[in-house]
């Protein structure tokens, strides 16, 4: 029998071990032959030499991943713990991991395997569909890619849009003029922007047309060029609306379309354009589809369990 103590330094222990030690329990299940005791900023392992050595390698891999990406979700944790996949997962992460240096020292990175695939797909293709449930970081990652492209002067403007479709409410009963009625639908896009760009700068960019946040209907008749364009909540675009949006694309534009096909707010008689697009466009070169799932959820741990419960 052997005993080692491994320091867990420079990480948020609650985030590393998980709320109620969720992550720690997953680690324990992967090493049933070891007695693992987490105390303060260190973890003690007691067991046979071979298991101890494997555990040491894996825990250091987890610490390295946490330092690089600022988090450790359940899906990535399980992949890293697999003997055959741990090193492969780390190799799949690009060396230049930070997408955007945001406000108050925020480092915006891809935090899961499929978010990383979204980043890579956008770098290789001009049109990317990111499809997955709530909380998987589809919109946030897409906005980060757009902000990075603007900061690197790869494009001249960012255009963010959403269908203005009620989720059980009626726009007509909301107070205010048209802008005030529509802005709540666009709030998640503003929130992501304010994480990554100073508030006054966002305001200036919007006033100067460098950043535009608008309902999908406002795209009709336009040519969107030298721009990074994101259509969010695309499951609520009709077939004709999504066709209209995709055909706005100019020669020097990049498009990302995000959506969750399990949360369609269109009338039951109205098919979702996103579902049709997956079937129609899947074999076109230059268009890629990235599918995220509950293992990519980066919100509260309960969001993942809620998504899984509804899937069942």
The pTM for the full model equals 0.68
Largest CA distance in the chain: 73
pLDDT band per the 50, 70, 90 thresholds, residue 175: low
Compute the distance between CA of residue 159 and CA of residue 306 in angstroms, rounded to an integer.
31
Q: pLDDT band at residue 18, thresholds of 50, 70 and 90?
A: confident
Q: Output the pLDDT for position 180.
A: 66
- For residue 56, the number of C-alpha atoms closer than 13 Å in the C-beta half-sphere is 13
Give the residue-averaged pLDDT of 140-162: 94
Torsion over CA: 180, 237, 241, 141 (sign): positive
pLDDT tens, position by position, 238-274 = 999 999 999 999 999 999 999 999 999 888 888 999 9
Distance CA 64, CA 87 (A): 11
Neighbouring C-beta atoms of residue 123, cutoff 10 Å:
11
pLDDT in tens, 79-103: 788 755 555 455 454 444 778 887 7
Determine the topology of domain 98-311 in CATH.
Rossmann fold (3.40.50)
Average pLDDT of the segment spanning 105-117: 83
CA distance 5 to 175: 60
Q: Which residues pair with 2 in a beta bridge?
A: 47
Q: Averaged over 31-37, what is the pLDDT?
A: 92
Mean pLDDT of the chain: 85
| Domain boundaries defined on the chain | 2-92, 98-311
Q: Tell which CATH architecture fits domain 2-92.
A: 2-Layer Sandwich (3.30)
């Amino acid at each position: 029998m052997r005993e080692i103590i491994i320091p867990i330094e420079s990480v948020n222990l609650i985030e590393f071990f998980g709320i109620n030690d969720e992550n720690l329990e997953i680690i324990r299940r992967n090493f049933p032959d070891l007695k693992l005791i987490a105390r303060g900023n260190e973890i003690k392992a007691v067991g046979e030499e071979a298991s101890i050595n494997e555990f040491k390698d894996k825990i250091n891999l987890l610490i390295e991943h946490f330092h690089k990406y600022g988090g450790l979700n359940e899906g990535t944790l399980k992949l890293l713990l697999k003997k055959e996949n741990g090193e492969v997962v780390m190799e799949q992460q690009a060396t230049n991991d930070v997408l955007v240096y945001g406000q108050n020292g925020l480092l915006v990175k891809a935090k899961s395997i499929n978010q990383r695939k979204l980043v890579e797909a956008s770098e290789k293709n001009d049109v990317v569909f990111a499809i997955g449930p709530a909380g998987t970081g589809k919109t946030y990652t897409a906005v980060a890619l757009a902000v990075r492209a603007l900061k690197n002067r790869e494009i001249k403007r960012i255009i963010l849009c959403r269908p203005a479709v009620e989720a059980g409410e009626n726009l007509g009963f909301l107070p205010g003029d048209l802008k005030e009625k529509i802005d709540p639908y666009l709030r998640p896009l503003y929130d992501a922007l304010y994480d990554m760009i100073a508030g006054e700068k966002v305001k200036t960019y919007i006033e100067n047309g460098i950043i535009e946040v608008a309902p999908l209907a406002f795209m009709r008749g336009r040519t969107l060029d030298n721009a990074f364009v994101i259509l969010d909540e695309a499951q609520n675009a009709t077939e004709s609306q999504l066709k209209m949006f995709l055909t706005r694309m100019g020669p020097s534009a990049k498009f990302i379309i995000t959506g969750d096909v399990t949360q369609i707010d269109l009338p039951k008689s109205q098919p979702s354009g996103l579902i049709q697009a997956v079937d129609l466009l899947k074999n076109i070169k230059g268009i890629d589809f990235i599918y995220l799932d509950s293992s990519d959820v980066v919100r509260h741990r309960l969001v993942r369990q809620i998504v899984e419960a509804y899937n069942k």
